[in-house]
């Protein structure tokens, strides 16, 4: 994350300096336009322009281009410029206000445009393209044990939002370059400050489809399991998503009338809400992407150790389908590796004894391994752990005692691979995961439990990140018309 943040900061600083350089070397005056519709029946050819005595700028010659009158504002010093538009009878039709700021930059107070605004739009567009490329590159570089990290969730999820923002900025910039007289900067400001709400609208259908699929799988799960809180998380998340989209639709469909400040405050509320929704939408998207990739991953067949993560088993010592799926996955990999390379990895079934279990989970898994023909000398049990983090930490100690440089893998259920990989990294065990299959209707709800488990340990960081992002877009909404 720090490396990506440094790269993004360097890009931002470089583009700001480039914009400043372009402003000082390539742009001097400002080109303004007056529409025919605002001339109260006068023909554009009949109009004349004048500035008050002592104004901060001069005017270049005016010319008619299509349905507009075009003229140049040439700044001389900082200050205000009132341009009077007069008819052939000398009557003043309207006024246009300009301001000259630092570096003799002309600001058009009617349209929001300014000297060199196209260069700024190009720079912002390039910035979002670079952010997207940096995130995608960092995601692709996360190989092996490094893949199991919160960073990959952020990079995969937020790269989608950054690419959308780049595409939006590219459209805005091209419209400004092609038709500067029609597409004013006020329209560009509106697009920039509403990036989150636009993204939320664009992704509404796939998000609603995901919520529907989550609810359907959870209802199927309830046909086979007891209706406890952990077994209805998918349904609760689906309802929250539906409620969130409905609240967003209600905000966007409201026609607000009032003072400029009231309209700004309402737009700010819309954008802050959309920012919060999109923030968690991106995190959820990133978690789903990482979870699916982790579940489909196959470690390279050069492992010295295979850790098998335990879970509940029957009182008679037999393994239920969930735990048997984990052990079978480890056995299949063990046999495949032996066939390809002749290397027999050491299997480490890991799990302590629960209060309602007749023996440690590791012991129950060892018995099953022996029944499947695994030599006893290739099995080392870890029977003290109480959770996944301890599974990884205690198994690492066993592996290091045998071979400190040995390569490890771990086997668990498919929905549990990514989160287990994160815990392995925190425990200091460099290992790649593999996932055993489970019923399709069980996977989504269980995976949602894993996502919440990932966020639970980082809720403070997530809250701070959300507040900062919402504050940024809120300030942007209040600052831009």
CATH assignment of the domain containing 46: 2.60.40
**Maximum average pLDDT range among 93-97, 132-136, 196-200, 288-292:** 132-136
Q: Is the pLDDT of residue 52 over 80?
A: no
SS (H, E, C) 37-71: HHHCCCCHHHCEEEECCCCCEEECCCEEECCEEEE
Q: Is residue 62 part of a domain?
A: yes
Q: What are phi and psi of 63, to 5 degrees?
A: -145, 150
State how far the Cα of 285 lies from the Cα of 282, in Å rounded to an integer.
5
Q: Which residue's structure tokens are 């720079």?
A: 123
> 179: exposed, middle or buried (C-beta count within 10 Å: 0-12, 13-18, 19+)?
exposed
The answer to whether residue 43 is domain-embedded is yes
The arithmetic mean of pLDDT across residues 136-163, rounded, is: 92
Q: Is residue 466 assigned to a domain?
A: no
Over residues 321-327, mean pLDDT: 93
Query: What are the tens digits of pLDDT across the range 113-146?
Result: 898 889 999 999 999 999 999 999 999 999 899 9
Whether 440 contacts 413, CB under 8 Å: no
**Closest C-alpha to 299, from 265, 361, 341:** 341
Q: Is residue 12 part of a domain?
A: no
Looking at the structure of the chain, the number of domains it has is: 1
DSSP code at position 382: B
d(CA 441, CA 438): 9
Q: How confident is the model at residue 479 (pLDDT cuts 50, 70, 90)?
A: low
Q: What residue numbers bound the domain in which 92 lies?
A: 29-108
Q: Which residue has the higher pLDDT, 122 or 67?
A: 122
Give residue 49's pLDDT band: very low, low, confident or very high (50, 70, 90). Answer: confident
φ and ψ at residue 228, rounded to 5 degrees? -100, 170
Task: With respect to residue 295, please indicate whether it lies within any of the assigned structural domains.
Answer: no
Residue 101 domain flag: yes
From residue 135, give the alpha-carbon distance in Å to each of 129, 251, 453.
10, 31, 24
pLDDT of residue 403: 93
* pLDDT (0 to 100) of residue 258: 62
Residue 21 lies in a domain: no
Residue 65, domain member (yes or no): yes
Per-residue model confidence (pLDDT) at position 3: 84
- Average the pLDDT over 319-328 and give the result: 93
Q: In this predicted model, which residue has the larger pLDDT, 136 or 275?
A: 136
Q: 380 falls in which pLDDT band (50, 70, 90)?
A: very high
Residue 423 banded pLDDT, cuts 50, 70, 90 = very high
The mean pLDDT of 354-359, rounded to a whole number, is 84
Q: What percent of the chain has pLDDT over 90?
A: 41
Per this entry, what is the length of the chain? Answer: 481
Residue with the larger pLDDT of the pair 239 and 44? 239
């Amino acid at each position: 994350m720090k490396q990506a943040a440094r790269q993004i900061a360097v890009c931002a600083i470089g583009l700001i300096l480039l914009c400043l350089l372009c402003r000082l070397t390539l742009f001097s005056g400002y080109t303004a336009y007056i529409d025919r519709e605002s001339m109260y029946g006068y023909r554009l050819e009949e109009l004349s322009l004048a500035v008050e005595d002592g104004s901060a700028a001069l005017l270049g010659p005016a010319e008619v281009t299509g349905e507009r009158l075009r003229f140049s504002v040439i700044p001389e010093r900082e200050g205000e410029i009132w341009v009077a538009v007069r008819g052939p009878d000398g009557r003043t039709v309207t006024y246009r206000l300009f301001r000259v700021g630092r570096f003799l930059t002309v600001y058009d107070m009617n349209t929001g445009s300014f000297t060199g605004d196209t260069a700024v739009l190009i720079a912002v567009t390039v910035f979002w393209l670079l952010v997207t490329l940096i995130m995608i590159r960092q995601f692709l570089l996360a190989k092996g044990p490094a893949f199991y990290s919160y960073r990959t969730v952020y990079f995969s999820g937020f790269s989608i939002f950054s690419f959308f923002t780049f595409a939006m900025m590219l459209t805005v910039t091209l419209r400004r370059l092609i038709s500067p007289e029609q597409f004013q900067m006020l329209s560009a400001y509106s697009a920039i400050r509403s990036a989150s709400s636009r993204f939320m609208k664009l992704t509404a259908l796939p998000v609603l489809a995901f919520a529907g699929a989550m609810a359907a799988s959870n209802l199927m799960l309830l046909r086979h399991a007891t209706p406890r809180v952990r077994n209805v998380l998918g349904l609760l998340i689906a309802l929250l998503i539906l409620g969130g989209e409905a609240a967003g639709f209600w905000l966007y469909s409201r026609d607000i009338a009032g003072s400029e400040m009231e309209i700004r405050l309402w737009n700010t509320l819309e954008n802050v809400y959309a920012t919060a929704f999109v923030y968690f939408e991106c995190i959820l998207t990133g978690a789903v992407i990482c979870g699916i990739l982790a579940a489909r991953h196959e470690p390279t067949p050069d492992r010295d150790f295979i850790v098998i993560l335990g879970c509940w088993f029957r009182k008679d010592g037999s393994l239920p389908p969930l735990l048997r799926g984990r052990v079978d996955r480890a056995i299949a990999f063990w046999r495949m590796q032996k066939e390809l390379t002749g290397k027999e990895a050491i299997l480490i079934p890991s799990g302590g004894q629960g209060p309602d279990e007749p023996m440690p989970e590791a012991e129950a898994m060892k018995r099953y391994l022996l029944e499947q023909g695994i030599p006893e000398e290739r099995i080392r049990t870890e029977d003290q752990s109480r959770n996944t983090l301890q599974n990884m930490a205690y198994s690492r100690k066993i592996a290091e005692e045998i071979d400190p440089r040995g390569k490890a893998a771990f086997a668990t259920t498919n929905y549990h691979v990514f989160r287990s990989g994160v815990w392995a990294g925190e425990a200091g065990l460099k290992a790649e995961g593999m996932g055993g299959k489970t019923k399709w209707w069980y996977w989504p709800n269980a995976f949602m439990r894993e996502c919440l488990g990932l966020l639970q340990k980082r809720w403070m960081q997530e809250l701070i990140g959300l507040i900062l992002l919402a504050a940024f877009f809120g300030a942007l909404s209040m600052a831009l018309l």
